[in-house]
Structure 1
Amino acid sequence: MTPTSLAPDQAHTRLHELTVIDVRTPGEYASGHIAGAHNIPLDHLDAALPVLKSAAERGELVVVCASGARSAQACDTLTGHGIPAATLTGGTTAWSQRGHDLHRPADARGVWPMDRQVRFVAGSLILAGLAVGQRRAAARWLSVGVAGGLVYSAVSGSCAMARVLAKLPLNQPRATDLDATLAALAHSDDRSAT
């Protein structure tokens, strides 16, 4: 079984029959998500496998992230466990560029998307390494290390810095939120959002 993909317009026309799983961090999810999407952050996907398997038996799953990279990774994990799933090509970025609405709760906190968090931290570390390197040459190795990590991230399609940043409290779901999402998926046939 290989993961499939859906273009934003295809997903939009079929939204009423799809179960949308958003694998971004809770902060990213709160900053704007597809209406009806269930937030299960990528690093919590393994815990949700039994519920996702049950949901996939009731209807098609489409997995969403900001750009499509994390959702493709999630689909690989799901299909590896025998759970059919499609990824949304281009993620919520492509979704909104095609003119489709993103739901933003009124009480949502503004958290930057993960790619923006990575760019900010990586850029800050490189600048710090260069600035301190003016006085202490060894500090330049910080810049070299971060730059090397960025190159490796681009080549491998994975990002160690994003994995570390995802563990920050602002990027973590409250246990009650994740439990409520899993309960809604386990007992829902109407695919309503949590």
Structure 2
Amino acid sequence: MSTAPTPTSSLTSAVPHQLVQEGRAPRLLDVRTPGEFRTAHIPGSYNVPLSTLREHRAELLAHLDEDVVLVCRSGQRAAQAEKALSEAGLSNLRVLEGGIVAWETAGAPVNRGPERWDMERQVRLVAGSIVLATGLVGVLVPGAHLIGTAVGAGLTYAALSNSCAMGVLLSKLPYNRGPRPDIRTVIAELRSAP
């Protein structure tokens, strides 16, 4: 089995796991929210939420000169981060296929903090609650069910566009934000890393 990343834009968790074990880990940028990162993250990874990465990608470029592996929950946000960094001129990027979920499933090490619901689960709860509530209220109030229909349309669009407006809104809640990583601190950590 090869120990170097392949020239494709994604890689399975086995490659970075082996490199971490050998002490040759690539830069691991976790683009999830600070709350998600605190719940579970790959040892040695840096938390640069997707919104922060997009906003400060030019500043990050100078400090990402070796192979970079982008991590999120399942790979979707990491793919968006890859696109943003590629557009800024970085070419040494890979996305961890299956994200932190695949990493944990493979039995790779994870640093754990206080347990929180991941963003996908929060979106399912809010969307399902809205549909349920408007369906029940619709029995008494004609037309209320249309709110649930609108939520369904939004979820369909989210699936087709690989984006989620509800997830973006939920990520702004204090529960999910926590202390926002300061870009200067992240850059200092990237500079000081071996």
- TM-score of the aligned structures, taking structure 1 as reference length: 0.88
Unaligned runs of 5+ residues in structure 2 are 1-6
Whether 1:80 and 2:65 are equivalent positions in the alignment is no
Amino acid at match of 1:189: A
Whether 1:152 and 2:160 are equivalent positions in the alignment is no
The residue number in structure 1 matching 2:173 is 168
* Equivalent-residue separation in structure 2 for 1:182 and 1:66 (angstroms): 23
- Equivalences for residues 41-190 of structure 1 within 5 A: 41-57=49-65, 59-84=66-91, 85-104=93-112, 108-175=113-180, 177-185=182-190, 187-190=191-194
Aligned-residue offset at 1:66: 0.3
Assess if the C-alpha contact under 8 Å between 1:75 and 1:87 holds in 2.
yes
Structure 1 window deviating more from structure 2 (21-30 vs 168-177): it is 168-177
The SS at the match of 1:101 is coil
The residue number in structure 2 matching 1:27 is 35
Amino acid at match of 2:32: R
Aligned-residue offset at 1:49: 1.4
Unaligned runs of 5+ residues in structure 1 are none
Assess if the C-alpha contact under 8 Å between 1:48 and 1:182 holds in 2.
no
* Equivalent-residue separation in structure 2 for 1:18 and 1:152 (angstroms): 35
Aligned-residue offset at 1:170: 2.0
The SS at the match of 1:21 is strand
- TM-score of the aligned structures, taking structure 2 as reference length: 0.88
The alignment's C-alpha RMSD in Å is 1.8
Bigger relative contact order, structure 1 or 2 (CA pairs below 8 A, ≥6 apart) = 1
The SS at the match of 1:183 is helix
Change (3 A) 1:174 1:76: same
Aligned-residue offset at 1:188: 1.8
* Equivalent-residue separation in structure 1 for 2:158 and 2:8 (angstroms): 22
The SS at the match of 1:56 is coil
Amino acid at match of 2:169: V
Among all aligned residue pairs of Structure 1 and Structure 2, give the percentage whose two residues are the same amino acid: 38
- The one-character-per-residue Cα deviations of 1:20-55 (angstroms, maximum 9, x if unpaired) are 000001111111010011001111112331342122
Change (3 A) 1:3 1:164: farther
Change (3 A) 1:43 1:35: same
The alignment covers a number of residue pairs equal to 184
